Amino acid sequence: MTQRFYSLFTIVVMAAVMVVVDYVPMAAADEWEQVLAAAKKEGTISLIGPPGTDRRDSLTLGFQKKYGIKVDYHADAGAGIFPKLSAERKAGQYLWDVVVTGTTTQLQSLVPGKVLEPLEPNLILPEVKDGKNWRGGALEFVDPGRQAMVMTPFHIGSVIINKSLATPMEIRTYKDLLNPKWSGKIVSDDPEKAGPGQALFTFFYLHPGLGPDFIRALARCNITFVKNYAQQADMVGQGRFSIGIAFSDATVEERIKKGVPLLILDPRKIKEGTHVSPASGGLSVFSRAPHPNATKIYVNWLLSKEGQTNYIRAAGYVSARLDTPTDHAEPWRVPSPTAIKTYTQEALDVKEKVIAVFKEAFGKY
C-alpha cells in the first residue's frame, strides 16, 4: 500500500512539474501573440539608430519582412539625439520608441535627461530573457535603473599601421610608440571629444602598466590630433603618417576592403591588450513611446539570435549573445572577461581626469 502511495505521489508530482514547465513558454507565447496583434494595429515602430546604409538595413528590413510592421528610421551618431528629443518634448511631442546608440550618449544625455524607461518590462521571449544565452550570464546594463543595455561588447583595434611604412613586429607594447623613429608620424583621434580617442586615452589612464605617466610620455611623440574619422584613415592610408591610434574601426575596415594598405594590429600581440566597447551597440526604449506594443516586438526581435546576427554582421561587431556567429569578425574581437571596459559609468567618471592629464601634457597641441 505504501509503495503504491509513493508511486502515485511520484506520478502526480512529475505531472505537476511538467505542467509548470509547459506553462511558462505557453504563457509567453500567449502574451507574444496578444502583443503582436496589438503591434500590427499600431503598424509602425519609430527608431533612432546609427548612420550607415548597412546598419540601417540590418535594423529595419528583416524586422519589417517578418512582422509587417514599418520601421521609421532616423540616423544619428549620438550627439543630436537628446537635443532633438528635448525640443520635441517641450512641444508636447513624443515621437520615438527605441534608440540604438553608444553608451556615452545613453549615460551622459539620455539617462540624466529622463527620457528613457527600464528595458526589461518589454522583454517577452524566453530566449531573450534567459541569462545563459548572454556573456556573463545575464543582460548587461550600465545604469542603476537598467535603462541602458549593452548588446555588442567587443575588443577595439587601437593601433593602425600603413603596411608600407611600419610592421606589426615594431609595435609589441604601446610603449613602442615612444620610439623616436615614430615622432611626427602618428595621428590620433582627438581625446577631448567623445569617441575612440577619448576611449583609448581612458584605457591608457586606467591600465596599471601605463597610466597618466604614459599619456604624458606620448606628448614627446609630436602626435597629430584630428577629429574627422575619414580624414584620419586617409592620412595614414595615403602614407602621410605611418601609424594611427584610436581610429574608427569601421572607417578603417572600409578602406581596407578598397585595397588601402592599412592594417589593424591584433591587440592580443600587444602586451597591454586593448579595451572593450560596444560602439553603437547600446539599446534603450523611450518613455511615453507612441507605439508601446511595436516597441516590445522590436526589442525582442533585436535581442533574439536572428536580430543580433543581422546587426553584428552588418556592423562588424560581436554580440553579447553567446549563440550568435563570430566568423564575420577577426577572432581578437571576441571580448575577454578581464579586459578593461571604457563604456561603463566608472570609465566615464574618470573622463575629466583623463582630459586634464591630456591637456597638461599636450597643451593646445
Rounding to the nearest 10 degrees, give the CA dihedral for residues 50, 53, 58, 64.
Answer: 100
* Residue 277 φ then ψ, to 5°: -145, 150
In this structure, the answer to whether residues 163 and 19 fall within a common structural domain is no
Q: Which residues of 230-258 are buried (b: 16+ CB within 10 A; e: fewer)?
A: eebbbbbbeeebbbbbbbbbbbbbbbbee
Nearest partner of 338 among 236, 237, 206, 229, judged by Cα? 206
pLDDT of residue 241: 98
> Angle between the 53-67 and 2-42 helix axes, to the nearest 10 degrees?
120
pTM for the model stands at 0.86
Q: How far apart are CA 310 and CA 302, in angstroms?
A: 9
Low-confidence ranges of the chain (pLDDT < 50): 1-2, 4-6, 8-24
**Nearest 5°: CA angle at 56, between 50 and 61?**
150
In this structure, the answer to whether residues 195 and 87 fall within a common structural domain is no
Contacts of 337 (CB under 8 A, 6+ apart): 135, 136
- Domain carrying residue 209: 157-274+345-362
pLDDT of residue 19: 39
338 assigned to some structural domain: no
In this structure, the answer to whether residues 126 and 11 fall within a common structural domain is yes
In this structure, the answer to whether residues 261 and 284 fall within a common structural domain is no
In this structure, the answer to whether residues 266 and 287 fall within a common structural domain is no
In this structure, the answer to whether residues 38 and 129 fall within a common structural domain is yes
pLDDT of residue 305: 98
127 assigned to some structural domain: yes
In this structure, the answer to whether residues 134 and 224 fall within a common structural domain is no
In this structure, the answer to whether residues 319 and 269 fall within a common structural domain is no
Q: Report which secondary-structure segment, H or E, holds 332.
A: none
340 assigned to some structural domain: no
Query: Could you tell me the CATH number of the domain that includes residue 186?
Result: 3.40.190.10
In this structure, the answer to whether residues 237 and 323 fall within a common structural domain is no
pLDDT of residue 18: 42
Total domains present in the chain: 2
In this structure, the answer to whether residues 38 and 141 fall within a common structural domain is yes
Give residue 129's identity as a one-letter amino acid code: K
In this structure, the answer to whether residues 249 and 269 fall within a common structural domain is yes
The string of DSSP codes covering 180-213 is GGGTT-EEEE-TTSTTHHHHHHHHHHH-TTSHHH
138 assigned to some structural domain: yes
In this structure, the answer to whether residues 19 and 109 fall within a common structural domain is yes
77 assigned to some structural domain: yes
pLDDT of residue 173: 98
